[in-house]
Structure 1
């Protein structure tokens, strides 16, 4: 059975995310406030879109065990029986506690990291491939305690009295979601292993490039580069190609 191999792959992915310089500097208390706030904006973009992703997965998933897991996850995101405890509302309260105007979140200029991370999530949600979807969800949920614990440490370093309900909720419930998703893995046929592994790789890729954005990797250039533009032709181009 391949389930142990999937667990090993997920653990490797978690170790690599823990080693990301954004995470290590957050845990060490050396992450600048500017980067910590940008991380909050990226996390908020992800939080705002996550219920849509879960609904899209539910629209085509036929496996009853997976449907129960996804529905429970969606219920948690929406606050279960109390909409006042919807996760995104807790996120907005986090902005308030940080003294960040909600308009600043709306105006945040998304760079390539969060754009790619959300694009991966949206495409996985629409791929209608159960193995890829479960693999993606599995590593995505497993990474939340790692990244949100680090984000909480970074912010409370700058704001010692900060209320962290947004992070605490996700850290608490996602461990349960991960355990349930591993039950779904056990129920999949052997031929789903390749798709599961690819889904895990996609989830890791999306998280790492989101962290890259918060760390400032894309600060020098925020637009998508068109390599079909004439200046990128090594035979006829000028400018960029001659500066290297």
Structure 2
């Protein structure tokens, strides 16, 4: 079975995320608080959306093992019947502990990174491709200990008494989800190998561009760029110069 190859592919994706400048700076205690808070905002957008992504996956997934894994994941996200333990509520408590007004989170203007990351996630969830979906979910869940451990290090440098339930809960629960997803990989046919790899690559890409946004890469140009506009036409530019 090709599960060992998939594990290696996921590990390669995790190494790439560990090497991201924002994650390295956080782990080394060098990340400015402003970037750490923006990282929290981006993670919050993802946390708020994740139950809807799982629901989209459940709408078309027919494999009973995979449906069970997705449903368990969704139940965990929603607090397993107790709304007070919903993951996003823990996120809101994290904002409170950081002294960040919830309105500031609501008012945060998403840039290209989080927009693309969420568009990728929702398109995969609605794409009706089992291999890509499992590959994406695998790397997305497996990255939690990498990114959230680094986020904890970055934030507790500035807030030593910070409660970290949001991070700790995700790290603990996602370890279980990853193990269950590898069971799903074991049940997939060889024909799904390429789609699994592609899903892993998409999950890595989505996380990296989210981290890019938190690191400030998209701060200089934050308006939508319409590349079909006349000013982007090189022939038009040449004609203007000639005149």
Does the CA contact (< 8 Å) of 1:17 and 1:23 recur in 2?
Answer: yes
1:95-174 matches, cutoff 5 A: 95-174=95-174
Say if 2:213 is the partner of 1:218. no
Question: Any idea what the Cα deviations from partners look like across 1:181-234, whole Å, max 9, x if unmatched?
Answer: 000001001101011111111100000000000000000011221122222222
Instruction: Tell me, in whole angstroms, the C-alpha distance in 2 between the residues paired with 1:91 and 1:35.
Output: 17
Partner residue in 2 for 1:88: 88
Runs of 4+ in 1 over 2 A off after TM superposition: none
For residues 76 and 113 of structure 1, the distance between their equivalents in structure 2, rounded to whole angstroms, comes to 26
Task: Supply the distance in 2 between the matched residues of 1:6 and 1:103 (Cα, whole angstroms).
Answer: 41
SS of equivalent residue, structure 2 residue 218? coil
- 1:188 match: secondary structure: coil
1:194 corresponds to: 194
How far apart are residue 235 of structure 1 and its match? 2.1
**Aligned counterparts of 2:81 and 2:219: Cα–Cα separation in 1:** 41
RMSD of equivalent CA atoms: 1.2
Contact 1:42 1:214 in 2 (8 A): yes
Q: Distance in 2 between matches of 1:144 and 1:21?
A: 17
Question: Which residue of the partner structure matches residue 204 of structure 2?
Answer: 204
Q: 1-side partners of 2:223 and 2:142: how far apart?
A: 31
User: Using the alignment, how far apart are the partners of 2:61 and 2:147 within structure 1?
Assistant: 28
Distance in 2 between residues matched to 1:127 and 1:102, nearest whole Å: 33
Who is 1:54 aligned against?
54
For residues 237 and 155 of structure 1, the distance between their equivalents in structure 2, rounded to whole angstroms, comes to 48
Count of residues paired in the alignment: 240
Distance in 2 (alpha carbons) for counterparts of 1:233 and 1:123: 30
Aligned partners of 1:3 and 1:185 also within 8 Å: yes
Q: Distance in 1 between matches of 2:57 and 2:27?
A: 34
- Consecutive unaligned residues in structure 2, runs of 5 or more: none
The equivalent residue for 2:36 is 36
